[in-house]
């Protein structure tokens, strides 16, 4: 199975871009995309939302499951919701000083998205997102303080 950095490279090659041109295309720092590919660092929510607009499956990108393109995956992903969840999860990890594997981040993002997408009201959804992130923080804190079994 390929890792996040390999899938980011596949996306770039599919789009016919260089690392520098990907950084420019997404209004990132000049070497940011290079860092994504080299370190396997999770891009910010805005970048992932823009990839979604280009028919790139964020589920595939984060977890390796499914296809690179949305065709054949779950249709109609809500890019704004996904962006909010990704930014919330990245902030959560950064705030607590944790550096989980990108796959772990992707799985958490996917689980939260699956729970929230069924909520039609934006206000309710924002509250549910705050609650989901608080629960995730508690779970992370518990895992860190309990240590390995």
Q: What is the pLDDT of residue 34?
A: 92
Q: What is the pLDDT of residue 146?
A: 67
CA distance 46 to 5: 18
pTM of the model: 0.55
Q: Counting Cβ atoms within 10 Å, is residue 103 exposed (0-12), middle (13-18) or buried (19+)?
A: middle
> Which of 1, 4, 2 is CA-nearest to residue 109?
4
Query: Would you call 1 helix, strand, or coil by DSSP?
Result: coil
What are the residue boundaries of the structural domains of the chain, listed by start? 1-41, 56-146
Q: For 105-143, how does the pLDDT look when each residue is reduced to its tens digit (9 = 90+)?
A: 888 888 888 788 777 888 888 899 999 998 888 887 777
The position carrying tokens 């799985």 is: 107
Q: For 16-54, how does the pLDDT look when each residue is reduced to its tens digit (9 = 90+)?
A: 999 999 999 999 998 899 999 998 888 988 898 888 888
> Which of 82, 75, 69, 61 is CA-nearest to residue 9?
61
In the beta sheet, which residues pair with residue 69? 56
């Amino acid at each position: 199975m390929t890792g996040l950095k390999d899938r980011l490279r596949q996306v770039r090659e599919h789009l016919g871009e260089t690392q520098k041109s990907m950084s420019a295309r997404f209004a990132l720092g000049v070497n940011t995309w290079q860092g994504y590919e080299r370190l396997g660092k999770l891009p910010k929510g805005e970048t992932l939302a823009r990839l979604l607009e280009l028919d790139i499956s964020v589920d595939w990108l984060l977890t390796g499951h499914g296809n690179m393109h949305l065709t054949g995956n779950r249709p109609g992903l809500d890019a704004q919701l996904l962006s909010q969840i990704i930014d919330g999860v990245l902030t959560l990890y950064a705030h607590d000083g944790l550096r989980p594997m990108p796959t772990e981040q992707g799985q958490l993002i996917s689980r939260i998205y699956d729970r929230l997408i069924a909520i039609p009201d934006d206000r309710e959804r924002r509250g549910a997102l705050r609650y989901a992130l608080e629960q995730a923080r508690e779970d992370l804190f518990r895992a860190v303080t309990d240590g390995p079994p």
